[in-house]
Structure formats: structure tokens, C-alpha cells
Amino acid sequence: MSLHLRQALAPVLLSAAITSTAFAQDPPKPRNSDIDNIGTRDINRGNLNFITIEKEIAMGRQLASEVERQLKLVDNPAINEYVNRIGQNIVLNSDAKVPVTIKVVNSPELNSVSLPGGFIYVNTGAILAAGNEAELAFVIAEGVAHVAARHGAEQASRAQLINFASIPSIFTGGAGGFALRQASNMIYPAQFLQFMRKDVSEADYLGVQYLYKAGYDPHAAVHFLEELQAREPLENRASLFSTHPATADRITATQRNIDLILPPRPLSVTTTAEFESIKAQVAQLPGPH
């Protein structure tokens, strides 16, 4: 190549190199990662769902009535007010389009349970397992994410498609992943289980965003999942017949999502003195918690 030609092409080649470098350093963000628009974005666009929000709320009320006949709800006002206050802060910083009702259940399970239409039940076992307020907030944020993404209504729509209608099929497990076991020991079609695992992954993804948006340290999500992994039986850690992805995979994905989409910030809430007080009150409740 002649000297004159190289000189003529130099600006073009330099521009191309800069553009190529920019593309290499700035990969496209995943869908629904625009945290500044949480609350106004349409996270359910293009999803399979035959059920209107009004019908979903009505379905949730009916299910909540049936579920509450089987669960032992905590009647301690201080505990309920505290958990609900955390939850409503998460809801305000989420994509949920329905009012959310949050109640505490006296149960040793390390999870929350979400029903269609905005009904969330947080187990005392999850409160006791949480190391700080941010970890408890993640458990609740996971449930809010299931509500916002309308996973219960989507599961019911999928069940209609494959003629697999059942109340347990529209239970949605929270961070712990044992909700369906409480509801039924029935065997689900493999494709249905695959969708359930996908829903949990999406709830992890959205939940950590809501946690961050509400002012909490998002790394609390990783810490709670690590605690969950340490406590779960070995045989539950990876199975094709599980309603949840392997916890190790959830930990890896959540850490990756934090690094990818959540900008670092100097101040985040990790815990409060009130958390320790409420946790002590939960520990004193009668019954298996």
C-alpha cells in the first residue's frame, strides 16, 4: 500500500478501531435491565397469558382463602407490620401492577409463597435464616417479582394449553423453593417444570433489581441463596424434576446480574436494629419455626 493511500485511510481505520473497541466494551444489556424505568416498563410484553389482571386478582383471592385455612398465620402485630413495611417498600420500587398483600406464616420453610394477583406469604423460617434486613428484603422481593411478572397467571395459561389444570400448578415458590411440595406431591410434565424453573430464574433477576431500587445491598440476595444452599439436602441440589434451578446456578446468575446491570453506589442498607428485635420476637413464637 502506498504512503499516500495509507495516510488517506488512517482516519477511517482509526474510527473503525474505536467503534470496534466500543462495541467490545459495551455489550448489549439483557431484557428488562433498565432499572431507571422500573415501574413504567412492560416486563410482560410478549409472554403467554390468557388471563386478565382482574381475573387473576379474583383467582388469587380464592386461592388465598383456601391456603389460609391450611396455614398458621402469625398474629403478632409488630412482626406483621415490620414485614409488611419492608414489602410495601419493595412493591413501590417494582413493576407490580396490582396491590400486594403480605402475611407472615409460622413455618420453618426458608421461603415465601406467592399466589396470583398479589398475595405473598413469608415464612418465619426465612426470617430466622436471614442474616440481616437486606436478606429478608430479598426473600420478599422474590415474591414481589413473581407477582410483577404474573407467573401464577402464566402457569395457569400454560396448564390450559396442555390440559393440566390444578390449583397447585398456580402456586409459585419464592426464594426457598418448597411451596409446591406443601401444596401437592403430584408429578408435573417435564415441559411444565422447565417453565417453572424459568420463572424462578426471572424472579431472581427481577427481585435483585427491586432490592437494589428499594435501597438495599443487592449482594444480600447472593448471601441468602448461599445460606439456602448450605441448608438444603444434597439430593435437592440438582434434579430434572425440580421446580427450581440448582441453587448453585442461581447464585452464579445472581452475582453475574449484579455485576452486569446494577451500578455500584456508596451507600446501601444492609440491616437495622429493628431487624434484630423482630427476629428475636419470631424466635419466641410458639410452634415449629
Q: Where along the chain do its domains lie?
A: 38-283
3-state secondary structure of 100: coil
In this structure, of 13-27, 115-129, 265-279, the range with the lowest mean pLDDT score is 13-27
pLDDT of residue 154: 82
What average pLDDT does the chain have? 81
Q: Is the pLDDT of residue 264 over 50?
A: yes
CA-CA-CA-CA dihedral for 214, 215, 220, 221, to nearest 10: 30
**In the prediction, which pLDDT does 45 show?**
86
Predicted local distance difference test score (pLDDT) of residue 198: 86
Per-residue pLDDT averaged across 63-77, rounded? Answer: 92
User: In whole angstroms, what is the distance from residue 269 CA to residue 86 CA?
Assistant: 12
Query: Average pLDDT, stretch 223-230?
Result: 93
State percent of the chain over pLDDT 90.
55
Please say whether the beta carbons of 221 and 208 come within 8 A: yes
232 band by pLDDT with thresholds 50, 70 and 90: confident
Residue 67 pLDDT > 70, yes or no?
Answer: yes
Name the grid cell of 158: 400454560
Confidence of residue 209 (pLDDT cuts 50, 70, 90): very high
pTM of the model: 0.82
Handedness of CA 247, 177, 101, 84 (dihedral sign): negative
Tell me what pLDDT residue 26 has.
58
Looking at residue 124, its pLDDT comes to 97
User: So what's the pLDDT on residue 289?
Assistant: 65
**Of 166, 174, 162, which is closest to residue 243 (Cα–Cα)?**
174
Cell (9 digits) for 155: 402457569
Q: What is the pLDDT of residues 139-175, one digit of tens each?
A: 999 999 999 999 888 887 776 666 554 444 444 555 5
Q: Using 50, 70 and 90 to split pLDDT, how confident is the model at 16?
A: very low
Provide the grid cell at 254: 445472581
